[in-house]
Structure 1
Amino acid sequence: MSQLASAQLMDGRHKYTRADSLRGALTPLRTCYDLNYYHLDVKVDIDNKFISGSNEFRFTATRAFDQLQFDLFSNLKIEKVVYMGAEIPFKREFNAVFLTFPTAIKKGSQSSFRVFYSGNPVIAKRPPWDGGFIFSKDRSGNPWVSVACQGFGASSWWPNKDHQSDEVDSMMISISVPKGLQDVSNGRLRNVVEKPEGYTQYNWFVSNPINNYNVTLYIGKYAHWKDQYKGEKGNLSLDFWALKEDSTQARPHWNADVKPMLKSFEHWFGPYPFYEDGYKLVQAPHLGMEHQSAVAYGNQFKKGYLGRDLSGSGWGLKFDFITVHESGHEWFGNNITSKDIADMWIHESFTNYSEALFIESLYGKKAANEYVIGIRQNIANDIPIIGDYNVNSEGSGDMYYKGANMIHNIRQLINNDEKFRRILRGLNKTFYHQTVTTKQIEDYIIKESGLKLQPLFDEYLRTTKVPDFIKTK
């Protein structure tokens, strides 16, 4: 996610409720099934800000059970849940839904159910920092619709197991929109189908594991063009989707950063993690978000962060912050995903540091060092970077700037850039398409660096202290 130092998804929250635990905890009713496949099929009635449709859950039972939990915000109506051709009972508590099956599902067996639902989703007030749907218009007055829901919850607009620990293996996303508009979603477009009542359905298939908050839609009048990048795993397809009215400006602006960015990040982090689904950059009616294989862009085709240099060093105006930062999340956030949002530093600290690595690739190490030093002015030292576990609570926004400086500090202690690069690439290879904990990341870096880094991790991530460095002989 893109950042401002004061922007937090669950800002200042300390008194947790039953609803927080239902959302954030990995209970037996969630761990009893492992997701294999979703088919999300949604019709978007833009005039009435109304959505309707279904989601099919295919799963493997990790133990025998006859009840499970999935999630859907309580303002959305569940019309029915169908299992083996018949409706089955369910109960709701806050945003959690509990299904009861007619007979026990055996451990190791594969099964499925389908949830039919409808309603008016929550409208985001300040996307992407507070989540929900965005119903807006382009300058020509055409509808322009999207959604951003990191932290807030994908279950704000579609039924799913809304916990980062279980990524579905693959997914079909079918979005029906009023005729004359297009939908862009994650993965690759399979086909376009004309539907009744003046709607067109766009069917997108995601062949790689994807986290719930990354699933998205962009609805509008888009111009589309293609390119290719010759990367470490062959030809990576590049797809660009800008509003028709902005496409002339978008082409040269995006061209300036995308291929150099991919070259830099493949050098430092390893191959782009989603060659099978391609890379897309999509103009969005909000600032930006790391939607896997369909990165949201809303930086108004400016350099820096909406024309600002967050580092104050001058180097922050040498590139488009949103293109680089949100694309960096394809490695840290989308390829490597934290199991609990409390460990979101894994996403943001490495991705924030990716900005410096991109600068280094183009302008050298001195420039990168100046950028990292410059962003220190944004560190708040307000609360610990790691949040509270099992209640869907992130920690301090310092996960960006302080976290990037922690990575930079570790690099200096390793004092061998090739070894540091091997560690970054090793993380993406070892935890490829996986969900992880802080301990797994800490243990890997400690082992591969050969350094006693636990005190450093503890001070940066678990305290609000300003790191104190002691010079030793």
Structure 2
Amino acid sequence: MKKLLLLSLLGITLSSASAQENWTWGGPLDPNQAAYDVKHYTLNLAMEPDKKYISGSADAVLEVKSPIDVVKLDLIDRYKVSDVRLDGKKAIFTREMNRINVQLGKSYKPGQRLTITVAYAGETPEAVRPPWQGGFTFSKDANGKHWVGLSSQNEGAKIFMPCKDHPSDEPDEGVDQFITVPAGYMVAANGVLVSEKKKANKVTYHWKTNYTINNYSINFTVGDFIKEQKEYTTVKGNKVPMVIYLLKQNEAKAPGLMEVLETSVRTQEKYFGEYPFPKEKIGIVETPYLGMEHQTINAYGNNYKYTKVGGKNHDWLLHHELGHEWWGNKVTVSDWADFWIHEGLCSYGDWLYTEEHAGKKAYMEHVREIGEQIPNNKPVIIHDEADSDEAYHPEVYTKGAFIMHSLRYNLGDEVFFKILKGFATDEAYTYKHQVKTADFISYVNKVSGKDMAPMLNFYLRSTNLPEVVVKRSGNNRYTIQVPNIDFTLPMDVRTDKGIQRLELSAKPVEVTSSKAPVIDEDFWYLKKITTATESN
């Protein structure tokens, strides 16, 4: 419980303090940016930790969707842009409000591709409270060596690269990163390490991913690391490198962390299907901030604070960020309004870890403890076309996960777990095929054969809770109804005859019992219960 409360409490701080210069992303898509699709990014950057400075260039390969003669790319104003090229030729550009406007010189038609190269440099934004208020985090290890992390979930990738900074568009053909650092340092980043080239007192690491990747998952970390690796066999029999990058001071902790990681991967695979990026790696890098779900190279800063779950060492943060490889990186929303699909389903996977390793009773106790502390202050879905500041609040974790718990009770384990794994493995909802809440609900209805939209939307889009009213209507007679819903909820009701599963709605249901009925004592629902005596 302390695990998710920490996330909740820290999440609350984000809503009360704006990120640096109020950088955010998402919201309504600019019509100009809707006119093109990003296919690929290439970063060629030199990081100078002493100066907290980056310099270099970035390529954006774009495909035109509707006629366009200007391309708008996002990049924060603190970087100086020295040159912009269009397909290798010098281009005219202007800057405005964290944007670069590139004049194309002619109108490009649908289907045409172009490459924009931006040369830029500047002092990097430093994170205020990473990862909630992100940026670059500059620290030193125990040996006095530089240790640099990057987090940008709330701010977007524009804090380090020119891009189309909107969740609706991911580079379909992946990302190449050429990151140059002082000799003696390593760079851990997304995908596979293609090359490591040393020249004079510098070394350039080329990392490449061919998978689609959301903007805030594009990442690199710099440090004096040791690398530990083993081969992992996925649930489908594929061999994948399992790689961890740790500070040299923590080398002795590598075997224990590797064991914890492997247990978490196997648990996630059981419920959500094969690890999503088998052609690249399962990766973790130690970071000077708590953590973040960077595709194939998750940030880990929990300082090896293991707990025992079912007698095994467990790291809640590692497991949660790993879960985002399925929920957030493989299944990705196109509108931050639907961010609960990333955080709620991922958090539900954390609860399933408890059930898998400590049993159903421990799971139910864990869920009750969390559920009783959900304040229900904001709708899980604030409104459509939300930006990252609006969408991100603690209940996308807790209430989002609890809604999955309620759905499980409604549908039963066989159907429910079929839905979780099916949605995370169906090509219609994964990788380049981004999703919205409506897609998830449609899939639930299709697989279950039930219309779960009324219940799901009730919990997701409002702060209302079912108000269960129990009235004593006579000797040993009671009526039970939920007057503030226009759908039916099955609930367990305990009477002197035992537990019955009753279909409750606005229409009263009568039961006979020598004792007052107990409603949903196992706590499958967030709800309010009132008791009353009918007047004569």
Regarding TM over 0.5, the answer is yes
- Structure 1 residues 76 and 89: alpha-carbon distance in aligned structure 2, compared to 1, 3 A threshold: same
Q: Which amino acid aligns with 1:236?
A: V
Contact map agreement 1:356 1:369 (CA 8 A) in 2: no
Is 2:60 the counterpart of 1:63?
no
What's the CA shift string for 1:75-103, capped at 9, x where partnerless?
Answer: 11111110133221222221222221011
Amino acid across the alignment from 1:94: M
> Contact (CA 8 Å) 2:23, 2:155: kept in 1 or not?
no
Instruction: Report the 3-state secondary structure (helix = DSSP H, G, I; strand = E; otherwise coil) of the residue aligned with 1:4.
Output: helix
- Give the Cα separation in 2 of the matches to 1:383 and 1:13: 17
Q: Distance in 2 between matches of 1:339 and 1:146?
A: 26
- Alignment-derived partner of residue 397 in structure 1: 394
Residue of structure 1 aligned with 2:337, choices 328, 342, 350: 342
- Give 1:301's aligned residue: 304
Q: Secondary structure at the match of 1:24?
A: coil
Q: Deviations over 1:319-363 (max 9, x none)?
A: 211110000000001101111222210100001010111222222
1:201 Cα deviation after fit: 0.6
**Is the Cα–Cα contact under 8 Å of residues 9 and 152 in structure 1 kept in the other structure?**
no
Match of 2:78 among 60, 71, 75: 75
Single out whichever of 364-373 and 125-134 deviates more from structure 2: 364-373
The amino acid that maps onto 1:459 is: F
- Relative distance call for 1:13 and 1:447 in structure 2 (3 A) is farther
The equivalent residue for 1:383 is 378
Q: Which moved more, 1:126-135 or 1:423-432?
A: 423-432
2:32 to 29, 33, 41: 29
Going from structure 1 to structure 2, the CA distance change for 1:92 and 1:391 (only over 3 Å counts) comes to: farther
How far apart in 2 are the matches of 1:9 and 1:317?
32
Structure 2: distance between partners of 1:9 and 1:92:
32
CA distance, structure 2, for counterparts of residue 389 and residue 142 of structure 1: 45
Residue 295 (structure 1) shift: 0.7
Alpha-carbon distance between aligned partners in 1 of 2:402 and 2:311, rounded to the nearest angstrom: 16
| Distance of aligned partners of 1:142 and 1:378 in 2 relative to their CA distance in 1, 3 Å threshold | farther
State how far apart, in whole Å, the 1-side matches of 2:115 and 2:150 are: 27
The one-letter amino acid paired with 1:228 is: E
Residue in 2 that maps onto 1:327: 322
The Cα shift of 1:41 comes to: 1.1
Pairing 1:432–2:435 present: no
Q: Paired residue for 2:354?
A: 359
Counterparts of 1:343 and 1:131 in 2: how far apart (Å)?
A: 21
CA distance in structure 2 between the aligned counterparts of 1:129 and 1:167, rounded to whole angstroms: 22
Distance in 2 of aligned mates of 1:202 and 1:251: 25
CA 172–265 in structure 1, closer or farther in 2 if over 3 Å, else same: same
Q: Residues 256 and 368 from structure 1, CA distance in 2 versus in 1: closer, same or farther, beyond 3 angstroms? A: farther
Q: Which of the two has higher C-alpha Rg?
A: 2
Write the letter of the residue equivalent to 2:397: Y
What does residue 224 of structure 2 align with? 221
- Segment drifting more, 426-435 vs 139-148: 426-435
Q: Secondary structure at the match of 2:343?
A: helix
Larger mean Cα displacement after TM superposition, 359-368 or 399-408 = 359-368
- Partner of 1:5, secondary structure, is helix
Q: CA deviation at 1:195?
A: 3.5
- Indicate if the aligned counterparts of 1:283 and 1:297 stay in contact, CA closer than 8 A: yes
Note if 1:419 corresponds to 2:435.
no
Alignment partner of 1:185 out of 186, 189, 198: 189
User: Could you tell me how far apart the structure 2 residues matched to 1:38 and 1:202 are?
Assistant: 16
Hey, what does 1:194 align to over in structure 2? 198
3-state SS, counterpart of residue 436 of structure 1: coil
Aligned to 1:208: 211
3-state secondary structure, aligned to 2:366: helix
Q: Please say if 1:462 is aligned against 2:465.
A: no
Question: What amino acid is aligned across from residue 432 of structure 1 in structure 2?
Answer: T
Q: Which amino acid aligns with 1:373?
A: R
Distance in structure 1 (CA, Å) of the matches to 2:467 and 2:147: 49
Which one of 359, 367, 374 corresponds to residue 372 of structure 1? 367
Residues 1:163 and 1:249: Cα distance change in structure 2 (over 3 Å) = same
Tell me the residue number matched to 1:445: 444
Structure with greater contact order relative to length (CA < 8 Å, sep ≥ 6): 1
Q: Structure 1 residue 85 and structure 2 residue 88: aligned?
A: yes
Deviation larger for 93-102 or 405-414: 93-102
Report the alpha carbon displacement of residue 378 of structure 1 after superposing the two structures with TM: 3.9
C-alpha distance in 1 between matches for 2:46 and 2:10: 35
Q: CA deviation at 1:318?
A: 5.8
Q: CA deviation at 1:315?
A: 7.8
Name the CA distance, whole Å, in 2 between partners of 1:58 and 1:147.
24
Q: State the alpha-carbon separation in 2 of the partners of residues 164 and 290 from structure 1.
A: 15
Corresponding letter in the other structure for 1:465: N
Structure 1 residues 271 and 368: alpha-carbon distance in aligned structure 2, compared to 1, 3 A threshold: same
In structure 1, C-alpha distance between the alignment counterparts of 2:241 and 2:339, rounded to whole Å: 29
Distance 1:364 1:451 in 2: 29
Q: CA deviation at 1:156?
A: 0.8
Q: Which amino acid aligns with 2:439?
A: Q
Residues 260 and 315 (structure 1 numbering): CA distance in 2 closer, same or farther, change over 3 Å? Answer: closer
CA distance in 2, matches of 1:57, 1:194: 26
Q: Which amino acid aligns with 1:427?
A: F
For structure 2, the residue ranges without an aligned partner over 5 or more in a row are 469-481, 483-490, 492-501, 504-536
- Cα pair 1:385 1:395 within 8 Å, conserved: no
Question: CA 1:288–1:378 in structure 2 vs 1: closer, same or farther (change >3 Å)?
Answer: farther
SS in 2 for 1:354: helix
- Kept in 2: contact 1:147–1:218 (CA 8 A): yes
**3-state SS in 1 of match to 2:447:** helix
Residue 8 of structure 2 aligns to a residue in which SS?
Answer: coil
How much does 1:316 deviate? 12
Checking the alignment, whether the CA contact within 8 Å between 2:8 and 2:395 is kept in structure 1 is: no
**Higher mean Cα deviation, 144-153 or 104-113?**
104-113
Q: Secondary structure at the match of 2:459?
A: helix
SS of alignment partner, residue 381 of structure 2 = coil
Q: Is residue 2:244 matched to residue 1:249?
A: no
1:267 to 2:270 alignment = yes
Measured in 1, the distance between the counterparts of 2:122 and 2:115 equals 23
Asked if the contact 1:303/1:317 (under 8 Å) is kept, the reply is no
The answer to whether the 8 Å contact 1:423/1:448 transfers is yes
- Distance in 2 (alpha carbons) for counterparts of 1:317 and 1:144: 30
After TM superposition, the score normalised by the length of structure 2 is 0.81
Deviations 1:110-149 (A, max 9, x none): 2211111111121001101101000111122110001001
The percent identity for this pair of structures is: 32
Question: What is the identity, as a one-letter code, of the residue corresponding to 1:445?
Answer: V
Gaps of 5+ in 1: none
